[in-house]
Amino acid sequence: MFPPFTSIIQAIPATVPFVGPETLERRSGRQIELRLGANESPFGPSELAVAAMQAQANQAQFYGDPECYLLRSRLSDHLEIPLSHISVGAGIDELLAVCCRLFVSPGDSIVTSLGSYPTFEFGGVACGAQFLRVPYRDEAPDLDRLLEVVKSTQAKILYLANPDNPSGAFASADAIGELVGKLPPSCMLFLDEAYIDFAPEVPPIADDNPQVIRFRTFSKAHGLAGMRVGYVMTATSHVEALDKIRMHFGVNKLGQAGALASLDDAAHVANVVQQTNLGRIEIVHLMKSLGLRTLPSHTNFVTIDVESKTRAEKLLSLLLDQGVFIRKPGMPPLDGCIRVTIGHPEQRARFAEIFESVLPTL
């Protein structure tokens, strides 16, 4: 016998947050040729980042700096905000979960968009939160309705991904500023900006606003998804509270070195963004030529309307049979769509070839 799990954990249904391409390869016995389902950067990390990580490899017996001081200092310079407003963690996923622990008690409400980035919910559910999910409006997060639900339920947290995953939609700086200004004092905004490097503008939110935590990552434009490095920008009091509960060795030595060097290679990130924009245009034109509608995107992926959940699921299966890993949104109204990471030119050409070959068999 062993002590029982907590009532919170016992109440959580068995779920799998992400079925990766490695799992799909093991299940099918077939190798994946095109990894276009996790929005990893096809352009890889900066050469400066690779060199920095290689230089640290023979020091892997040592823990990384638990304060991530050099990385936080460089971020402070890069973002032009005080170091005391920055905390670093093992990717946005860990930071979301830890930040939930700061504010959520069992029974508290969290408001989010139905179908938006689902991994966030694992952190909230583990704290005993009740989730209130607002459907998309016009295939994007409904900011007005989200705010209404927050006010009517006295929710502790409003979660918003901007740009959004999986729709790709982006709420303007003015819209985000208006949302922040209308938040009731008892609610925190968790603003997930994983794809902000691809957005047309950055919402100007005061970095010391105690009602907002902004989440950023090195996984997308910087191409360091495998190193698990993310950070938050928020009030000093929140950073100090995070220091009480965060995993102090959570960000490994190589990840810190790679992220630090990547910040010094602005040209690499700018090139990734430029090539992603060109690739997005190419995919949109391809789908238009095939009679398919694409959703507006400000990310490194494109969401494609294939008209029904059944067709979307079949298309995923057909593409997987051909060695192509993509994903689909799970909730309406986007469950009739597929989501494709924007690959580099060779990947896009191969994807177009395979996609055009399987589409007629739907």
Residues 169 and 315 in one domain: no
Q: Which neighbouring-strand residues pair with 109?
A: 130
How much is the pLDDT for 12? 81
Q: How many residues does the chain have?
A: 362
Residue 83 · residue 236 · CB < 8 Å: no
pLDDT of residue 275: 97
The per-residue pLDDT string of the chain (362 residues; one tens digit each, 9 = 90 and over) reads 678 888 888 888 777 767 888 988 898 888 999 999 999 999 999 999 999 999 999 999 999 999 999 999 999 999 999 999 999 999 999 999 999 999 999 999 999 999 999 889 889 999 999 999 999 999 999 999 999 999 999 999 999 999 999 999 999 999 999 999 999 999 999 999 999 999 999 988 888 899 999 999 999 999 999 999 999 999 999 999 999 999 989 999 999 999 999 999 999 999 999 999 999 999 999 999 999 999 999 999 999 999 999 999 999 999 999 999 999 999 999 999 999 999 999 999 999 999 999 999 98
Same domain, 219 and 144: yes
**Assigned token pair, 122:** 């694992």
Beta bridge partners of 158: 111, 189
Residue 103 shares a structural domain with residue 238: yes
Answer with the one of 234, 264, 294 that is the final residue of a domain: 264
**What is the C-alpha separation between 156 and 213, in angstroms, rounded?**
13
Amino acid at the residue 333 = P
**Does 284 fall in a domain?**
yes
In a domain, 168, yes or no: yes
- Residue 7 is predicted with a pLDDT of 86
Question: Of the candidates 264, 280, 311, which is a domain's last residue?
Answer: 264
Kindly state whether residue 8 falls inside one of the protein's structural domains: no
Same domain, 136 and 242: yes
**Quick check: 38 and 21 in contact, CB under 8 A?**
yes
Per-residue model confidence (pLDDT) at position 141: 98
What are the beta bridge partners of residue 325?
35
Amino acid (1-letter code) at residue 226 = G
Residue 258 structure tokens: 């790679």
Residue 3 in any domain: the answer is no
CATH of the domain at 305: 3.90.1150.10
Per-residue confidence (pLDDT) for residue 251, from 0 to 100: 95
Task: Work out how many domains the chain is built from and give that number.
Answer: 2
Q: Is residue 149 part of a domain?
A: yes
Same-domain status, 32 and 72 = no
- How many whole angstroms separate alpha carbon 68 and alpha carbon 64? 8
Tell me which residue range forms the domain holding 181.
48-264
CA distance 46 to 199: 20
Shared domain check, 53 and 34: no
Question: Do residue 175 and residue 324 come from a single domain?
Answer: no
- Based on the fold, state whether residues 271 and 249 are members of the same structural domain: no
201 lies in the same domain as 323: no
Instruction: Output the pLDDT for position 29.
Output: 86
